[in-house]
Amino acid sequence: MTAIWTKRFVNTLLVLVAIAALAAVIQAAGSIADGKFHMVSYPASSENIRMEPLGGESAWWQMQAGTVRVDDHSWLRAARLVGRLAGLALLAGMFWQLRGLLVRIAEGDVFSDANVAALKRVGKLLIATSVLSISITFMTQYAILEAIPDMAERAIHPSISWNVKGVENIWMEYTPPIIPVLLAMISFITAGAFQSGKNYREDSESVV
Give the interface with another protein as residue ranges (CB under 8 A). Answer: 202-203, 206-208
Which amino acid makes up residue 147?
Answer: A
**Which C-beta is closer to another protein: that of 175 or that of 204?**
204
The rounded distance, in Å, linking the Cα atoms of 131 and 90 is 11
**Which C-beta is closer to another protein: that of 113 or that of 202?**
202
Least CB distance to another protein at residue 192 (A)? 21
**Which C-beta is closer to another protein: that of 152 or that of 207?**
207
Cα dist. 86→6, 78, 106, 134, 171 in Å? Answer: 25, 12, 30, 13, 26
Dihedral pair phi/psi, residue 166, rounded to 5°: 85, 0
Burial class (CB in 10 A: 0-12, 13-18, 19+), 126: buried
Least CB distance to another protein at residue 119 (A)? 25
**Which C-beta is closer to another protein: that of 72 or that of 113?**
113
Least CB distance to another protein at residue 202 (A)? 8
Least CB distance to another protein at residue 193 (A)? 21
User: Which one-letter DSSP state was computed for residue 145?
Assistant: H
> Strand, helix or coil at 65?
strand
The rounded distance, in Å, linking the Cα atoms of 46 and 29 is 32
Name the nearest CA neighbour of 15 among 83, 71, 91, 80.
91
**Which C-beta is closer to another protein: that of 175 or that of 206?**
206
Least CB distance to another protein at residue 199 (A)? 10
**Which C-beta is closer to another protein: that of 33 or that of 207?**
207
Least CB distance to another protein at residue 205 (A)? 8
The rounded distance, in Å, linking the Cα atoms of 63 and 168 is 14
